[in-house]
Every structure is written in C-alpha cells, then in structure tokens.
Amino acid sequence: MGFDTGALLPLDKALQGMLEQLSCRCETEQLPLPQALDRILAEEISSPLSVPPFDNAAMDGYALRLADLAAGAPLPVAGKAFAGQPYEGEWPAGHCIRIMTGAPVPAGTEAVVMQEETQEGANGITFLTTPFLGQNIRRRGEDLAEGSRVLASGLRLSPRELPLLASLGIATVTVRRPLKVAIFSTGDELKPLGTPLAHGDIYDSNRYAVKAMLTRMGIECLDLGIIPDDPAQLRAAFIQADREADALITTGGVSVGEADFTKQLLEELGEIGFWKLAIKPGKPFAFGRLPNAWFFGLPGNPVSAMVTFDQLVQPALAKLAGHHFARPLPLQAMAAEPLKKAPGRLDFQRGILSLGPNGLEVRSTGSQDSGVFSSLSRANCYIVLEQARGKVAAGETVTVEPFSGLLL
Ligand code: AMP
Ligand code: MG
C-alpha cells in the first residue's frame, strides 16, 4: 500500500494513489424511474424520440401564414388548436387559427403571434406587431434530437434528470446497487448517546458525522458502534466488516501512539498503508484492503475526520460506487481579515463566504483547531490555502470551495 515514507504526502498524490487501485464494485439493477432518485446511472441514455415530438406553439395566440398579412386586413379565425387537441380542419387563405401553448401548430404555420400583440374586432384579428418566420414556434427535436446522447453512465440521478427521462418516456433505468460501508469508532474514551459520561469520557460524535455523510452519498451504512481499544474486539469488528461490506471506515486509532495497535491487526488481516498527509486538519490517515473490503482509517479529531472524509474518502467511495464524481467548483474570494497559516501543509480552513461591495469575500470561523466543531458548523466553505503558502493578509485573494451536498 506504500507511502510509509515518513515525509508528508501531498493530498493529490494520496488521492491518485488510492483511486488507481479502486474500481466500481457495484452490480447493476433495474429500477422504476421514481425509485431511481439519487442512484448512480449504469447505462448511457440516448433519446428514443424527438423532444418536443412535434412543432408546437410557445405562446397562447394565433397561428398564421405570413403572406396572409400582406393585405393588412384583419384575419378571421378559422378554428382552434389546444394542447392535446390539434386543429385538423381546413385552413382557408386569409385566416388565422387560435392556438394555445403546447398545441401542435397546424401544417403551414409560419408564426404564432401572442395574444397580447393582437386585437379582436368584428372582422377578425388585427396583428399589432410584424411577426418573423418561425416566431413562437418550438420545433420538433429542438430540445433533443432522436438518438442523441442525453445522460452519461456514472451520473447521479437528481431531481433535474428524472423529469428529463420521463419526457423521453423512459419508465425504468439501469442503476448501480448502493455501495455498502461498515463504520465504527475506536477509543476507550468514547460513550454512546444516552449514557452518562465518567471523568475522561466523551461522546462519540464521529460516527454520526460519517453516517450522515454516507447517507448524503446514497451509501448503505452498517454501523458497528464503538469498539474499545482492545485487540480481540477490534479484530472481530474488522472481520465482520470485511465479510458484510464493500468498505470499512473507522475513526481514531491511526495517529502515532495508537497506530501500532491497528497496524498490527490490519497487517495480519490484509494490507495497509499509514500515511501522514500534508493537509491540515487531518494529518494521519490509513488506507488499505482487507480480504474483501477496502479500508479507510480516519483521524479521531472530529474536524479532521470530516475533512479527510470529504477530500479523500468521498472520491474513493464514489469510484467504488460507479459514480463519476466531481468536486464543487472552486471560487476566488478576498480574505476580509488576516488568516493564520504556516507553510508545509495544504490547509482546509473553515470560512464564511459572503458577497461584499467588491465581490466575494471570506472570513475565518475562528479557532481552526481540529477538535473545534463549531468552526465547521458555522462555516459555509473551505478556505483552501496552498501547501507552500504562509499567513494571509487582509485583501489577498484566496481559493474557496463552497460546501457541497455532502456537508449541507
Ligand atoms: P485518536 O485519533 O484516536 O488519537 O483521537 C484523536 C482525538 O479525537 C482524541 O481527542 C479523541 O478523544 C478524539 N476522538 C476520537 N474518536 C472520536 C469520536 N468518535 N468522536 C469524538 N471524538 C473522538
Ligand atoms: Mg483513540
């Protein structure tokens, strides 16, 4: 699994090292469209028909032939066309046809004039504007041509895709089965919610973070609870996770002092690398494989655990799930106040991004200690400060990454 070099490993190297080893491990299944929300599409979708399927009116108004306007006289109405009830009668010269939005335009229609630009009189309809050829006509196939590629495999189906598929008459789709991930927290100090704390105890919060982020990713979670720092219990948990899940995520027990423990176990059961990442927060990180499942060991500090999940584990799990994942677009903003930073690690500081008089500006949420949860809960973005960069003065430009669906 490599990278046990002692030197700090840059984030992109770590990510690349993991992604190279991973591939999709989720089989496909067929689902009715309404059940496919948030699932990963496992087929390429081409349009089986043209959208719209026929030329139709974009406005309520009147369909006409341009030549009929030459005389300048009002045009009597020859008939009506409604959405779902096309006009199929005769269309005598010198007449127009009343038409509603979405109705097929009668053969020969050259323009639809919206009713607000017309006047109804005893002799017919007077047109107050000069229409152009094709005005207010939605052409067959102008949205999607029959046979054209509509959606790529690997896409996560959102509320924007379901209606698109429905408009194509697609009732079932081929999607990936959800990835299944086992999780547990390690640490003798951790207590579950609903139990009193003895001196030295804290509540286990990481498990709720990891579980919530897995849920956001549409991943099935097998929660194995809190495992004390005890080799026999850890061993049993590793074996169960390996048997029942595609991957295992643990928090805690990967930093210096504890790593030997987990390391010994994992080396016995599988293959493992313990990395010191050149990122802040979140230096210690473990990645490896058990006989069946992949393993991700997150640091115990709550903010480190969330940031390493977001930056490293999320893309890795996405690949296992068959999801073509893309990070949110980074933005440039002005630091509205000085930011503390030492060169050497890539910082993911927690920030508050807002729109100021001169464009986007960002502030720190305060203490950036990796144990300070409030720095995360009040933030709406990362302030991403490059590895080599030192402290930032007010007014400097910094890169920010708005929080994505994973954290929202
Ligand atoms: P570790 O990585 O196990 O050395 O833990 C680093 C710090 O994170 C310690 O202060 C732990 O008490 C804390 N920590 C570890 N696991 C959790 C957890 N599940 N929930 C909250 N804090 C934790
Ligand atoms: Mg611990």
CA 358/CA 214 separation, integer angstroms: 38
Using the mean position of ligand 1's atoms as its centre, give its distance from the Cα of residue 192 in Å.
Answer: 13
Which pLDDT belongs to residue 7?
83
CA 145/CA 53 separation, integer angstroms: 9
Which pLDDT belongs to residue 258?
63
CA distances from 7 to 11, 199, 250, 345 (A): 13, 37, 23, 12
Residue position matching structure tokens 């704390």: 197
Question: Is the CB of residue 407 less than 8 Å from the CB of residue 213?
Answer: yes
Give percent of the chain above pLDDT 90: 90
Residue 300 in contact with ligand 1 by CB distance below 6 A: yes
Residue 126 in contact with ligand 1 by CB distance below 6 A: no
pTM of the model: 0.91
Using the mean position of ligand 1's atoms as its centre, give its distance from the Cα of residue 14 in Å.
Answer: 22
As a three-state string, the secondary structure of the chain is CCCCCCCCECHHHHHHHHHHHCCCCCCEEEEEHHHHCCCEECCCEECCCCECCCCEECCCEEEECHHHHCCCCCECEEEEEECCECCCCCCCCCCEEEECCCCECCCCCCEEEEHHHEEEECCEEEECCCCCCCCCEECCCCCECCCCEEECCCCECCCCHHHHHHHCCCCEEEEECCCEEEEEEECCCEECCCCCCCCCCEECCHHHHHHHHHHHCCCEEEEEEEECCCHHHHHHHHHHHHHHCCEEEEECCCCCCCHHHHHHHHHHHCEEEEEEECEECCCEEEEEECCCCEEEEECCCHHHHHHHHHHHHHHHHHHHHCCCCCCCCCEEEEECCCECCCCCCEEEEEEEEEEECCEEEEEECCCCCCCCCHHHHCCCEEEEECCCCCCECCCCEEEEEECCCCCC
Burial of 284 from C-beta contacts in 10 A (0-12 / 13-18 / 19+): buried
Using the mean position of ligand 1's atoms as its centre, give its distance from the Cα of residue 401 in Å.
Answer: 26
The mean pLDDT of 224-253, rounded to a whole number, is 95
Residue 255 in contact with ligand 1 by CB distance below 6 A: yes
Residue 205 in contact with ligand 1 by CB distance below 6 A: yes
Chain-wide mean pLDDT for the chain?
A: 95
CA 308/CA 277 separation, integer angstroms: 10
Using the mean position of ligand 2's atoms as its centre, give its distance from the Cα of residue 252 in Å.
Answer: 5
Which pLDDT belongs to residue 274?
83
Residue 154 in contact with ligand 1 by CB distance below 6 A: no
Among residues 363, 70, 38, 43, the alpha carbon closest in space to that of 220 is found at: 38
Question: Is the CB of residue 238 less than 8 Å from the CB of residue 286?
Answer: no
Pocket test for ligand 1, best of 185, 206, 301, 309 (most atoms within 8 A of CB): 301
Per-residue pLDDT tens digits for 47-90: 999 999 999 999 999 999 999 999 999 999 999 999 999 999 99
Q: Which ligand is nearest to the CA of 228?
A: 2
- Span of 70-79, 313-322, 366-375 with lowest mean pLDDT: 366-375
Using the mean position of ligand 2's atoms as its centre, give its distance from the Cα of residue 254 in Å.
Answer: 8
Which pLDDT belongs to residue 3?
47
Which residues have beta carbons under 5 A from ligand 2 (an ion)? Answer: 187, 252-253, 300
Residue 281 in contact with ligand 1 by CB distance below 6 A: no
CA 198/CA 217 separation, integer angstroms: 35
Residue nearest to atom 15 of ligand 1 (CA): 300
Residue 282 in contact with ligand 1 by CB distance below 6 A: no
Residue 236 in contact with ligand 1 by CB distance below 6 A: no
Sheet strands side by side (includes 111-114)? 77-81, 96-99, 61-64, 111-114
The mean pLDDT of 195-202, rounded to a whole number, is 97
- Span of 84-98, 210-224, 277-291, 363-377 with lowest mean pLDDT: 363-377
Which pLDDT belongs to residue 260?
64
Checking if the pLDDT of 2 tops 80, the result is no
CA 150/CA 202 separation, integer angstroms: 50
Per-residue pLDDT tens digits for 143-190: 999 999 999 999 999 999 999 999 999 999 999 999 999 999 999 999
Which pLDDT belongs to residue 37?
97
Pocket test for ligand 1, best of 227, 251, 283, 306 (most atoms within 8 A of CB): 251
Using the mean position of ligand 1's atoms as its centre, give its distance from the Cα of residue 250 in Å.
Answer: 11
Using the mean position of ligand 1's atoms as its centre, give its distance from the Cα of residue 369 in Å.
Answer: 13
Using the mean position of ligand 2's atoms as its centre, give its distance from the Cα of residue 229 in Å.
Answer: 7
